Chains A and B, each alone.
Chain A
Amino acid sequence: MSDTKTPRDLNAFIEGIPYARFLGISVDQKGNEITTVMKFDQKLIGNPLLPALHGGVIGAFLEMTAIIQLAYETGSAAIPKPIGLTVDYLRSGKPIDTYARAHITKQGRRVATVHAEAWQEDRSKPIATTHGHFLLKTGEEAES
């Protein structure tokens, strides 16, 4: 693997993930601080009566945020694979833009543990959090 600390163009990285485009996810990078943004779109609604974002979409957004953070911190071109994650739903997602940040709790050689949090208007009032494990691929494994 190449230099593991080279900051990379994360918007270019997510260009290689069509599903990130489908959900309308972009990256706001300020130095080494990364915030992912999921722009509101009618197609993200799960409960049209409230209305509220689909819970699965929020889970997917958190998973994507964890992957982006891992890609940034490991500097690896290989996309980390989720092993398992738990999403806690704290508040219903309003029909507005959603933001998220991830923090790597522990990065091992093969597995990383990541925590991520999503919020909307108020950072101190997260709408959902997740913690999960991701498999980091080495160069050889990525080819298999």
Chain B
Amino acid sequence: MAAEFKMTPETMMALKEMLIQHVPHMRALGVEIVNAAPAQAWLRVPYDERFIGNAETGVIHGGVITTVLDNTCGMAVQLAMDEPQAIATLDLRIDYMKPATPGLALTTHAHCYKTTRNIAFVRGTAYHTDINDPIASCVGTFMIGANRTVPTGVAAAKAFMAKQKKEG
């Protein structure tokens, strides 16, 4: 499952711009990009005491996982489309397999396995270090062309990725 796609510093910068600088909530969570490839994205959210859902156990709240998975899925959709377009989550189903371990960062992976003219279909997983030992998984659909806004940075990120692929 390891990503074959190698990020150049330029791609990473463009993606960070798109993800972190332009999405206030991702900034608030301290989310970072781990990797990206056509139709796929990997993000990481650090463990933070502000995200705790149960003060007795220190386990982070499921909502944090939902949020980061939703964002990872959205990013995978963006990376699956030829042209950057506004997208919106239509539905998202999350299954929680086991509690996250307190103190550990969470990695998420999402793959947009199908897009139609209007809808994108995505699957995602959240884990600590091993994707085969998941904490949560999700499946979602996104509306393509949801509104007139176009996420800043997406076009730049895609151009860098296409270039990298050609040279790679």
**Chain A interface (Cβ < 8 Å from any Cβ of B):** 16-23, 42-50, 54-57, 59-61, 63-64, 79, 81-89, 92
Contacts and interface: CB of A to CB of B under 8 A. Distances in A.
Contact of A85 (B56, B90, B94, B99): B94
Q: Is chain A's binding surface mostly helix, strand, loop or mixed? A: mixed
B63 interface: yes
Interface in B78-105: 86, 88-96, 99
Chain B CB count within 10 A is highest, among A20, A60, A79, for A60
A96 B88 CA distance: 18
Given A19-B50, A45-B23, A86-B91, A55 B63 contact: no
Nearest to B91: A88
B95 A46 contact: no
The 4 closest A-B pairs by CB, nearest first: A60-B63, A56-B67, A49-B149, A19-B61
B22 interface: yes
Given A17-B55, A19-B53, A89 B90 contact: yes
Contact of B93 (A18, A57, A85): A85
Given A43-B25, A47-B149, A48-B23, A55 B54 contact: no
